[in-house]
Every structure is written in structure tokens, then in C-alpha cells.
Amino acid sequence: MRLALLLGASLLALSCAQAEEGGSPVRKDSGAVDSGLDSDSSIPDSTDAADDVKDTSVPDDASDAFPDADADAADVAPSDGGTPASVKTLVLWLDATKSLTSTGSLVSKWPDQSGKGNHATQSSSGNQPTIVSSGIGGKRAVRFDGSTSYLVIADASTLQFGTGDFYIGVVASYANPTSVYSTFYGKFEAVSPQRGAGLFGNHAATSTSKLYVWLDKTSGYVTPSSGYNDGKARLYAVRRAGTDLELRVGGAVMFKATPPAIDVSASGQNVWVGGRGTDAQFLDGMIAEVVVLAGVTSDADVTLIEDYLTAKYGL
């Protein structure tokens, strides 16, 4: 009798163990996060340059969204070996680590690596930016002084985006006061409504250090996050894809809107890099790389560009 009871207990224990091993797996949360984007809210005009700026009221802090990376800032390409040169819609690629024409430290020409010949130049020595040998991520960058220096790219058909898709990505740092529009890239019509494509480090009309994108006098957009004028290097970008406009920081979409179909070609107008000589919207900071795509570009190619730049500079 005692032997039978022991045998029964053993069989019961074995059955429970098998049930635990063969049970249903526990599903963890996928990590999906609400974007928090609200394209309906806006900032009213405060100056002629303020426009109807679309904003969100999410009190995000830029430093929380993009902590310092511990990875080495080595020049590492994505796992597929891709670089901007492999993207078919590439129309401008300024890379300070590749080639600069200078006299001493003064930069007179920043050659375009895209093969389109869209070189950035400055013939006046009093307006030339300078080379910083260990600028961003330990790599060479171009330093703009915040008061006089800027580069110009002559107008070309490849830089006239029309109402089509485009992407402008800039690896930069800046420390301008919030009262100054800090020009990364700008190409605009000379007269109202000044249609064009512009990417700035501040929105001076509201005295905020938010990433600011200009399409015309009544279509301006800013990120909900601010605090970008802290001198820290980041990847800033704007992408128009179909009817969507994205403001991107560090490869993440910080704001998304559906603006009207605006022709941003600004035919006959030059591209400004690091400042606008006619409006004193000078950048006080450094630019290491500028990548511009024109035409329908896949999400995979945008990811390739941003992964490449993030890894290269250890952002």
C-alpha cells in the first residue's frame, strides 16, 4: 500500500513538470509607443518671418530623446555597406571628411560628392567658414562663426524639387541664441510668399530652439522638442514624401504634418549653407555633412542614409 502511494505521488509530480514545459509562451509588450503628434495645433504669427507655424504642445526635452552614445565614433557604414553614393536620388553630398578647398583654415569650396556638381563655395575671404580638424565625432567639420560666414550653391535643376519628394539631412551642432534663425540649408524665392525649402536650428519668432522647416510664408513647422542649441551634434532632417512632411532628429520622426502641395523649386535662387548673407541668419556652429535627395525615395534608403551618418559620427 505504501509503495502504491509513493508511485502515485511520483507520477503526479512528473505530470506537473511536463505541463509547465509545454505551456503557452508569455507574450511581452511589443514596445509600440504613441507618437504624440498633433498636427492641428499651431503657433500664431509674431513677426513677418514667423508664418503660421505648426507645433505640438508635448513638453519633450531633446536631451531625454537622444542620450549620448557610448559607441566609438568610427566611420562605420551600415551592415549592407551602403553609403549615400548608393542612393539613386542623391543630388547633393557635402562631406567634410572627404574634400575641402581652403587657404589655411578658410574654406573657399566644399565639393559635392554626389556627382551632380552642386559645389558649395565662398569667394570672399571675409565670409569664409573655417576647418575644424576634430569637429564632430572626432572628425573634420566646417565651422560657421554666427556673424559673417556662409557658403552658396548655385541654382541647378537637380536642386529644384517642385511639389515632389525630397530629403535634406544635416549633421550639425549649434549654439545660437533663440532670437536668431540658424541656417543649415535654405533655398527660397526672393519675393512673397517666398516659397522654398529651408531647415533651421531655431524658430526665432517664438524664441525657441526647435528644429524649424520653412515651405512658404504661411507654411512653417517646428518640432515639439526644444533645447537643440546646446552645442551637441545631432542629425537634423526634413523629408517630404507624398503628402506627408516629417521633421526628423537623430533618425526619429519628431513631428509629422500634411501641408499643401507647395512648389519649393525657387528657380533662379541659390542655396544657402550655414547662413543667409542677405538676412543675417547665420549659424553659430559646425556642419560635418549634408545629404540631399530629390524624388521618390524609399524608407529603406532614408534609413540607410541616417544609419550611415549616425554610426559615422557616433551620434
In a 13 Å sphere around the CA of 163, the CA atoms on its Cβ side amount to: 7
> What percent of the chain is predicted at pLDDT more than 90?
71
Backbone angles phi, psi at 87, to 5 degrees: -90, 120
Kindly list the structural domains of the chain, giving each domain's residue range(s) and its CATH number in brackets, ordered by start: 88-313 (2.60.120.200)
The span from the CA of 16 to the CA of 246, in Å, is 54
Mean pLDDT, residues 164-169 taken together: 98
Residue among 264, 290, 256 nearest 183 (CA): 290
129-153 burial by CB neighbour count: b if 16+ within 10 A, else e? Answer: bbbbeebbbebbbbbbbbeebbbbb
In the DSSP assignment, the letter for residue 61 is B
The span from the CA of 270 to the CA of 112, in Å, is 15
Neighbour tally for 307: CB within 10 Å: 17
Indicate whether 28 pLDDT > 80.
Answer: no
Residue in this structure with the C-alpha cell 517666398, named with its chain if needed = 194
Predicted pLDDT of residue 68 = 30
| Residue 279 banded pLDDT, cuts 50, 70, 90 | confident
| C-alpha cell read off for 134 | 576634430
Indicate whether 62 pLDDT > 70.
Answer: no
**pLDDT digits 0-9 by tens, 71-123:** 332 333 333 458 999 999 999 999 999 989 999 999 999 999 999 999 999 99
175-199 burial by CB neighbour count: b if 16+ within 10 A, else e? Answer: bbebebbbbbbbbbbeeeebbbbbb
Higher confidence at residue 54 or residue 66?
54
| Residue 278 banded pLDDT, cuts 50, 70, 90 | confident
| Cβ within 8 Å of residue 48, ≥6 positions away | 217
8 Å CB contact between 128 and 137: no
Q: What is the dihedral of CA 85, 200, 227, 314, to 10 degrees?
A: 10
8 Å CB contact between 161 and 294: yes
Predicted pLDDT of residue 294 = 98
The span from the CA of 183 to the CA of 172, in Å, is 11
Tell me the pLDDT of the chain averaged across its residues.
Answer: 80
| Residue 64 banded pLDDT, cuts 50, 70, 90 | very low
Predicted pLDDT of residue 276 = 87
Predicted pLDDT of residue 133 = 95
In sequence order, which ranges of the chain are alpha helices (DSSP H)? 2-21, 62-65, 299-313
Predicted pLDDT of residue 40 = 28
Residue in this structure with the C-alpha cell 554610426, named with its chain if needed = 311
Q: How far is CA 5 from the centre of its chain?
A: 72
Mean pLDDT, residues 58-67 taken together: 30
Residue among 191, 242, 185, 187 nearest 211 (CA): 185
Residue in this structure with the C-alpha cell 565651422, named with its chain if needed = 143
Mean pLDDT, residues 257-266 taken together: 96
**Residue 193, preceding bond cis, omega within 30 degrees?**
yes
